Amino acid sequence: MQRPTIRELAAAAGVSVATVNRVLADSSQVRPRMREQVRAAASKIGFQASALQTPPPTATAKCKLGFVLPQAERAFYRCFADALKAVSASHGNVEPLVRHIEDMSPPSIINTARSLASECNAIAVITTTHPLVGEALEQIRLEGVPVFALLSPLSESNHINYVGPDTGKSDGLRAGFLNTPARRRAKSASFMTTLAFVTMRWSRSGFDPTFASTGLI
Protein backbone atom coordinates (compact mmCIF):
# COMPACT_ATOMS: atom_id res chain seq x y z
CA MET A 1 0.00 0.00 0.00
CA GLN A 2 1.36 3.38 -0.99
CA ARG A 3 2.21 5.71 1.88
CA PRO A 4 0.29 9.04 2.05
CA THR A 5 2.18 12.03 0.72
CA ILE A 6 2.73 15.41 2.37
CA ARG A 7 0.36 16.95 -0.16
CA GLU A 8 -2.34 14.45 0.82
CA LEU A 9 -1.72 15.19 4.49
CA ALA A 10 -2.08 18.92 3.83
CA ALA A 11 -5.38 18.33 2.02
CA ALA A 12 -6.68 16.13 4.85
CA ALA A 13 -5.73 18.74 7.46
CA GLY A 14 -7.10 21.64 5.43
CA VAL A 15 -3.77 23.51 5.50
CA SER A 16 -1.02 24.37 3.03
CA VAL A 17 1.92 22.11 2.21
CA ALA A 18 4.20 24.78 3.70
CA THR A 19 2.36 24.51 7.02
CA VAL A 20 2.76 20.72 7.05
CA ASN A 21 6.48 21.11 6.34
CA ARG A 22 6.79 23.52 9.27
CA VAL A 23 5.01 21.03 11.52
CA LEU A 24 7.29 18.22 10.39
CA ALA A 25 10.30 20.46 11.05
CA ASP A 26 8.92 21.15 14.54
CA SER A 27 8.98 24.88 13.82
CA SER A 28 8.08 27.24 16.66
CA GLN A 29 6.13 29.37 14.15
CA VAL A 30 3.30 26.82 14.05
CA ARG A 31 0.44 27.49 16.44
CA PRO A 32 -0.41 24.65 18.85
CA ARG A 33 -3.95 24.30 17.51
CA MET A 34 -2.68 24.03 13.92
CA ARG A 35 -0.10 21.45 14.99
CA GLU A 36 -2.84 19.33 16.58
CA GLN A 37 -4.95 19.68 13.44
CA VAL A 38 -2.14 18.27 11.28
CA ARG A 39 -1.41 15.53 13.83
CA ALA A 40 -5.06 14.43 13.85
CA ALA A 41 -5.17 14.32 10.05
CA ALA A 42 -1.93 12.30 9.94
CA SER A 43 -3.40 9.74 12.33
CA LYS A 44 -6.55 9.52 10.24
CA ILE A 45 -4.84 8.85 6.89
CA GLY A 46 -1.94 6.82 8.30
CA PHE A 47 0.85 9.33 7.72
CA GLN A 48 3.75 8.55 10.05
CA ALA A 49 6.53 10.88 11.19
CA SER A 50 8.35 11.30 14.48
CA ALA A 51 7.39 14.98 14.68
CA LEU A 52 3.71 14.00 14.66
CA GLN A 53 3.89 11.55 17.53
CA THR A 54 1.60 12.42 20.44
CA PRO A 55 3.64 13.40 23.54
CA PRO A 56 3.53 10.87 26.39
CA PRO A 57 0.90 11.55 29.08
CA THR A 58 3.57 12.49 31.61
CA ALA A 59 4.73 15.40 29.46
CA THR A 60 1.78 17.73 30.01
CA ALA A 61 2.17 20.79 27.85
CA LYS A 62 1.44 24.12 29.43
CA CYS A 63 -1.42 26.19 28.12
CA LYS A 64 -0.06 29.58 27.08
CA LEU A 65 -2.45 32.50 27.47
CA GLY A 66 -1.51 35.87 26.00
CA PHE A 67 -2.71 39.16 27.47
CA VAL A 68 -2.45 42.53 25.72
CA LEU A 69 -2.76 45.33 28.30
CA PRO A 70 -2.38 49.12 28.19
CA GLN A 71 0.47 51.12 29.69
CA ALA A 72 2.47 49.50 32.49
CA GLU A 73 2.99 52.88 34.15
CA ARG A 74 -0.70 52.92 35.13
CA ALA A 75 -1.14 51.29 38.53
CA PHE A 76 -4.47 49.67 37.64
CA TYR A 77 -3.03 47.71 34.72
CA ARG A 78 0.05 46.69 36.70
CA CYS A 79 -2.19 45.31 39.44
CA PHE A 80 -4.41 43.68 36.83
CA ALA A 81 -1.38 41.97 35.26
CA ASP A 82 -0.24 40.73 38.69
CA ALA A 83 -3.70 39.31 39.34
CA LEU A 84 -3.70 37.50 35.98
CA LYS A 85 -0.32 35.97 36.75
CA ALA A 86 -1.41 34.90 40.24
CA VAL A 87 -4.56 33.21 38.97
CA SER A 88 -2.62 31.49 36.17
CA ALA A 89 -0.03 30.21 38.66
CA SER A 90 -2.77 28.68 40.79
CA HIS A 91 -3.74 26.42 37.88
CA GLY A 92 -0.24 24.97 37.52
CA ASN A 93 -0.29 24.21 33.79
CA VAL A 94 -1.13 27.76 32.62
CA GLU A 95 1.64 30.07 31.46
CA PRO A 96 0.59 33.73 31.12
CA LEU A 97 2.38 35.98 28.64
CA VAL A 98 1.58 39.62 29.42
CA ARG A 99 2.47 42.42 27.00
CA HIS A 100 1.94 46.06 28.00
CA ILE A 101 1.54 48.54 25.14
CA GLU A 102 2.79 52.07 25.68
CA ASP A 103 1.52 53.23 22.29
CA MET A 104 -2.19 52.31 22.13
CA SER A 105 -2.41 52.97 18.40
CA PRO A 106 -4.23 50.38 16.23
CA PRO A 107 -1.02 49.16 14.50
CA SER A 108 0.71 48.64 17.86
CA ILE A 109 -2.26 46.72 19.27
CA ILE A 110 -2.59 44.60 16.13
CA ASN A 111 1.12 43.72 15.94
CA THR A 112 1.24 42.77 19.63
CA ALA A 113 -1.90 40.65 19.35
CA ARG A 114 -0.58 38.83 16.28
CA SER A 115 2.78 38.22 17.95
CA LEU A 116 1.13 36.66 21.01
CA ALA A 117 -1.30 34.65 18.87
CA SER A 118 1.65 33.01 17.11
CA GLU A 119 2.87 31.47 20.38
CA CYS A 120 -0.22 31.19 22.59
CA ASN A 121 -3.26 28.91 22.80
CA ALA A 122 -5.55 31.92 23.29
CA ILE A 123 -5.26 35.68 23.73
CA ALA A 124 -7.19 38.36 25.62
CA VAL A 125 -7.01 42.06 24.81
CA ILE A 126 -7.89 45.34 26.49
CA THR A 127 -8.28 47.71 23.59
CA THR A 128 -10.12 50.72 22.31
CA THR A 129 -12.72 50.08 19.66
CA HIS A 130 -11.37 50.53 16.14
CA PRO A 131 -12.39 48.83 12.87
CA LEU A 132 -8.83 47.78 12.02
CA VAL A 133 -8.31 46.25 15.47
CA GLY A 134 -11.65 44.47 15.26
CA GLU A 135 -10.84 43.04 11.83
CA ALA A 136 -7.38 41.87 12.94
CA LEU A 137 -8.71 40.15 16.06
CA GLU A 138 -11.49 38.53 14.06
CA GLN A 139 -8.91 37.20 11.59
CA ILE A 140 -6.85 35.76 14.44
CA ARG A 141 -10.00 34.05 15.74
CA LEU A 142 -10.78 32.61 12.31
CA GLU A 143 -7.24 31.21 12.14
CA GLY A 144 -8.02 29.05 15.17
CA VAL A 145 -6.79 31.10 18.13
CA PRO A 146 -9.56 32.01 20.61
CA VAL A 147 -9.72 35.78 21.25
CA PHE A 148 -11.34 37.54 24.21
CA ALA A 149 -11.97 41.22 24.90
CA LEU A 150 -11.18 42.15 28.51
CA LEU A 151 -13.03 44.79 30.59
CA SER A 152 -14.29 46.68 27.53
CA PRO A 153 -16.27 44.81 24.83
CA LEU A 154 -15.62 45.32 21.16
CA SER A 155 -18.23 46.15 18.55
CA GLU A 156 -21.34 43.97 18.57
CA SER A 157 -20.73 43.29 14.87
CA ASN A 158 -17.88 40.82 15.45
CA HIS A 159 -17.68 37.47 17.25
CA ILE A 160 -15.06 38.31 19.89
CA ASN A 161 -16.09 36.97 23.30
CA TYR A 162 -16.20 39.47 26.16
CA VAL A 163 -14.94 38.93 29.72
CA GLY A 164 -15.77 41.73 32.15
CA PRO A 165 -18.47 43.45 34.17
CA ASP A 166 -22.00 44.03 32.95
CA THR A 167 -21.59 47.78 32.73
CA GLY A 168 -25.19 48.41 31.77
CA LYS A 169 -26.41 46.92 35.06
CA SER A 170 -23.66 48.32 37.27
CA ASP A 171 -24.12 51.88 36.02
CA GLY A 172 -27.87 51.59 36.33
CA LEU A 173 -27.32 50.80 40.01
CA ARG A 174 -25.00 53.80 40.37
CA ALA A 175 -27.58 56.06 38.78
CA GLY A 176 -30.23 54.72 41.13
CA PHE A 177 -27.93 55.42 44.07
CA LEU A 178 -27.49 59.04 42.94
CA ASN A 179 -31.20 59.45 42.39
CA THR A 180 -32.08 59.56 46.11
CA PRO A 181 -29.56 62.18 47.31
CA ALA A 182 -30.27 64.28 44.21
CA ARG A 183 -33.91 64.61 45.24
CA ARG A 184 -32.76 65.81 48.67
CA ARG A 185 -30.55 68.58 47.24
CA ALA A 186 -27.42 66.68 48.30
CA LYS A 187 -24.02 67.02 46.68
CA SER A 188 -23.56 65.06 43.47
CA ALA A 189 -20.48 63.34 42.09
CA SER A 190 -18.89 63.46 38.64
CA PHE A 191 -17.60 60.37 36.87
CA MET A 192 -14.61 60.88 34.60
CA THR A 193 -13.65 58.27 32.01
CA THR A 194 -12.56 57.97 28.40
CA LEU A 195 -14.86 57.93 25.40
CA ALA A 196 -12.43 55.63 23.60
CA PHE A 197 -13.85 52.46 25.11
CA VAL A 198 -17.13 50.86 24.06
CA THR A 199 -17.70 50.26 27.79
CA MET A 200 -18.41 53.99 28.14
CA ARG A 201 -21.28 53.77 25.68
CA TRP A 202 -22.61 50.64 27.36
CA SER A 203 -22.35 52.34 30.75
CA ARG A 204 -24.36 55.32 29.56
CA SER A 205 -27.03 52.99 28.19
CA GLY A 206 -27.64 51.90 31.78
CA PHE A 207 -26.83 55.18 33.52
CA ASP A 208 -28.69 57.78 31.45
CA PRO A 209 -32.23 56.31 31.47
CA THR A 210 -32.16 55.77 35.23
CA PHE A 211 -30.57 59.09 36.14
CA ALA A 212 -32.81 60.98 33.69
CA SER A 213 -35.77 60.15 35.92
CA THR A 214 -34.42 62.69 38.43
CA GLY A 215 -35.10 65.45 35.95
CA LEU A 216 -31.52 66.73 36.25
CA ILE A 217 -30.39 65.61 32.79
Q: What is the DSSP string of 34-103?
A: HHHHHHHHHHHHT---GGGSPPPTTSPPPEEEEEEES-TTSHHHHHHHHHHHHHHHHTSSEEEEEEE-SS
* CATH (one of 1.10.260, 1.10.3470, 1.10.10, 1.10.357) for 6-52: 1.10.260
Q: Which residues of the chain have pLDDT under 50?
A: 194-207, 216
| Domain boundaries for CATH 1.10.260 within the chain | 6-52
| Domain boundaries for CATH 3.40.50.2300 within the chain | 63-163
Model confidence pTM above 0.85: no
pLDDT 10s digits, 132-185: 988 999 899 888 899 998 887 776 556 788 887 765 555 555 555 555 555 556
CATH number of 63-163: 3.40.50.2300
